[in-house]
């Protein structure tokens, strides 16, 4: 498993991470198999959020770690906060962040988080409040590294100006069949719809600032609309992916992950799977690199047009 060195302390994270959003739906033995499969292929990074399963996913993960006898220092644990579960709102207040982290640590049965992300933008964010919360968490040893999720460069700059530490991650949606992060640059100075840069150049900004992008929903074609692999809605894309997979003697899943990994930004892919085989198939992406010609062929097969 390739690793990415993140931040001034060179936190070494696996290029592929396991997202734990739905593990509360599994039987304990199935959770153990999923986590074991991840460890076996070299995944050391596990992504959580306090809203996943209303907190139960973190509890389920902690129970599995205990059954498997995994050591805390062998795992890099990330969780997210900022989406309120009691009311429909976002909340980056100091009070909410601190309370959320205490809950996360209790459910995960650990003393610290390796990474905390702010989950979705809060329109009422007060940067100085976030800075106070982050400073408190760092000083107390409860959180070691920080980042955001689904934020554009301006919001990140606004927050970073107030922070005593560097933001290290931004978790953004990206897949072969969902490419707004990439389209705007390719169609720059054109009048077509793809030229609209809806994210403010987030991918380039993160690369420029040394911020690691985490790609969520790497197999989805919309906002949880379904997977594109093997989907009849994407005949040309699957035809091309299957052919390239055959050429590399890997699965179509490996090609989908390799397409993300090929970008020079060194993107970390977050697998939101509950299937050990999907983890194993994804890990095949580590054995090769797509050529530039293959990358663009896949991009075009997804329905994208080069100007």
**For the CA atoms of the chain, what is the radius of gyration?**
19
52 is catalytic: yes
Q: State the virtual CA torsion across 253, 255, 259, 261 in degrees, nearest 10.
A: 80
Decide: helix, strand or coil at residue 133: helix
Q: What angle do CA 149, 152, 157 make, to 5 degrees?
A: 100
Q: For residue 226, is it left (φ>0), alpha (ψ between -120 and 50) or beta?
A: left
Phi and psi, residue 291, nearest 5° = -75, 165
How far out from the chain centre does Cα 259 lie? 15
Closest by CA to 279, choosing from 42, 3, 23, is 42
Closest by CA to 109, choosing from 79, 81, 152, is 79
Beta bridge partners of 100: none
Alpha-carbon distance 98 to 104, whole Å?
A: 10
Alpha-carbon distance 197 to 78, whole Å?
A: 29
Alpha-carbon distance 167 to 148, whole Å?
A: 7
SS3 per residue for 49-95: CCCHHHHHHHHHHHHHHHHHCCCHHHCEEEEEECECCCCCCECCCHH
By annotation, the residues acting in catalysis are 52
């Amino acid at each position: 498993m390739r690793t990415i060195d993140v931040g001034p302390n060179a936190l070494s994270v696996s290029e592929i991470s396991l997202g734990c959003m739905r593990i509360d739906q599994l039987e304990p033995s199935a959770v153990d198999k999923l986590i074991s499969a991840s460890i076996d292929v070299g995944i050391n990074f596990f992504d959580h959020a306090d809203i996943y399963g209303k907190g139960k996913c973190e509890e389920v993960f902690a129970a599995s770690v205990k059954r498997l006898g995994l050591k805390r220092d062998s795992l890099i644990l990330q969780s997210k906060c900022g989406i309120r579960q009691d009311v429909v709102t976002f909340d980056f207040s100091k009070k909410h962040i601190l309370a959320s982290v205490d809950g996360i640590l209790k459910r995960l049965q650990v003393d610290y988080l390796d990474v905390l992300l702010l989950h979705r933008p809060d329109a009422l964010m007060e940067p100085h409040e976030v800075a106070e919360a982050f400073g408190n968490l760092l000083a107390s040893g409860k959180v070691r590294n920080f980042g955001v999720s689904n934020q554009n460069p301006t919001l990140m700059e606004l927050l970073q100006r107030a922070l005593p530490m560097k933001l290290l991650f931004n978790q953004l949606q990206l897949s072969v069949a969902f490419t707004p992060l990439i389209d705007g640059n390719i169609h720059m100075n054109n009048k077509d719809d793809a030229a609209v840069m809806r994210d403010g150049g987030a991918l380039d900004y993160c690369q420029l600032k040394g911020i690691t992008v985490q790609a969520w929903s790497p197999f989805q074609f919309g906002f949880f609309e379904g997977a594109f692999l093997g989907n009849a809605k994407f005949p040309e894309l699957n035809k091309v992916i299957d052919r390239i997979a055959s050429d590399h003697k890997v699965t179509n899943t490996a090609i989908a992950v390799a397409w993300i990994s090929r970008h020079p930004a060194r993107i970390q892919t977050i697998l939101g799977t509950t299937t050990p085989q999907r983890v194993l198939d994804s890990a095949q992406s580590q054995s090769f690199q797509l050529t530039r010609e293959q990358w663009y062929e896949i991009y075009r097969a997804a329905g994208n047009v080069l100007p």
